């Protein structure tokens, strides 16, 4: 896999600092899995951040600092992680026998032979991919740690376009298989593309094959026409 498009330095810095929201963070982690260059850059940023912390002047903490910090973090998580009450994670519930089965992907997803969902994504609960426009299916990726997140898995047929849309914040797209073009260039497997808030675009998938890609939005995306109506319940 030859990766041509990477997250910007600002995005990797925010990831290193832990300030990138959970949706875009999932896309960056998916990209990092297949991009040694970005893993090296991230390690450098993390090392710089650690060095800055070590160089900072030590400041005496108030005696109740630990208690106040723990209080701000909220109650301790249960032993079952994010899902209290002992419930099984959604991707292991009815219809799925275990992790290996869940990793085949959500209902309605088509992947070519030899292509698997990237590991960070395969661990997530993903809703069934529903048809929302000719040749376009969309499923919501659940990110329970951030209820405001908008992360979607798109499956788009050859020669089809992602319906025209704008967004209130940055849009992140990671290509899992296939490829697409927009006025900024052509993108293929492993590429992560960032589009600024003022971009109003309709990326077009290559004629040769279906494109499966993951998209995260900072701020709600606004789709024009029918897709906006269909996706409203998701958003
Ligand atoms: Zn990269």
Q: How far apart are CA 50 and CA 53, in angstroms?
A: 5
| Ligand 1 center–CA 216 separation, angstroms | 17
63 or 203, which is more confident? 203
CB neighbour list of residue 159: distance below 8 Å, 6 or more residues apart: 135, 204, 205, 206, 207
Instruction: Starting at the earlier edge strand, list the strands of the sheet with 192-195.
Output: 130-133, 136-140, 150-156, 211-217, 171-177, 192-195
With cut-offs at 50, 70 and 90, classify the pLDDT of residue 142.
very high
The tokens of 45 are what?
A: 């940023």
Range from 7-11, 126-130, 219-223 carrying the lowest mean pLDDT: 219-223
| Ligand 1 center–CA 62 separation, angstroms | 42
| Ligand 1 center–CA 58 separation, angstroms | 35
| Ligand 1 center–CA 174 separation, angstroms | 11
**Domains delineated in the chain:** 9-231 (2.60.120.10)
**9 phi/psi in degrees, rounded to 5:** -55, -40
Mean pLDDT value across the chain: 76
Q: Is the pLDDT of residue 83 over 50?
A: no
| Ligand 1 center–CA 35 separation, angstroms | 5
- Helices 36-55 and 9-17 meet at what angle, rounded to 10? 50
Q: Tens digits of per-residue pLDDT, 94-133?
A: 322 233 333 357 889 988 888 999 999 988 999 999 988 8
């Amino acid at each position: 896999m030859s990766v041509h498009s990477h997250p910007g330095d600002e995005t990797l810095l925010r990831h290193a600092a832990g300030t990138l929201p959970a949706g875009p963070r999932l896309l960056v982690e998916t990209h990092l899995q297949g991009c040694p260059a970005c893993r090296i850059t991230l390690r450098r940023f993390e090392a710089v951040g650690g060095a800055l912390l070590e160089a900072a002047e030590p400041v005496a903490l108030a005696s109740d600092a630990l208690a106040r910090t723990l209080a701000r973090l909220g109650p301790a998580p249960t032993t079952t992680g994010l899902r209290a009450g002992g419930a099984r994670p959604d991707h292991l519930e009815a219809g799925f026998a275990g992790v290996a089965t869940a990793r085949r992907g959500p209902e309605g997803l088509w992947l070519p032979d030899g292509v698997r969902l990237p590991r960070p994504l395969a661990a997530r609960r993903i809703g069934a991919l529903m048809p929302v426009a000719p040749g376009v299916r969309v499923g919501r990726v659940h990110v329970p740690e951030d209820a405001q997140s908008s992360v979607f898995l798109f499956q788009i047929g050859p020669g089809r376009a992602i319906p025209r849309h704008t967004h209130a914040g940055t849009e992140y797209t990671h290509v899992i298989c296939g490829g697409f073009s927009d006025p900024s260039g052509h993108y293929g497997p492993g590429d992560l593309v960032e589009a600024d808030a003022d971009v109003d675009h309709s990326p077009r998938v290559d004629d040769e094959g279906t494109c499966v890609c993951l998209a995260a939005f900072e701020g709600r995306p606004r789709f024009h026409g029918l897709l906006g109506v269909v996706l409203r319940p998701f958003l």
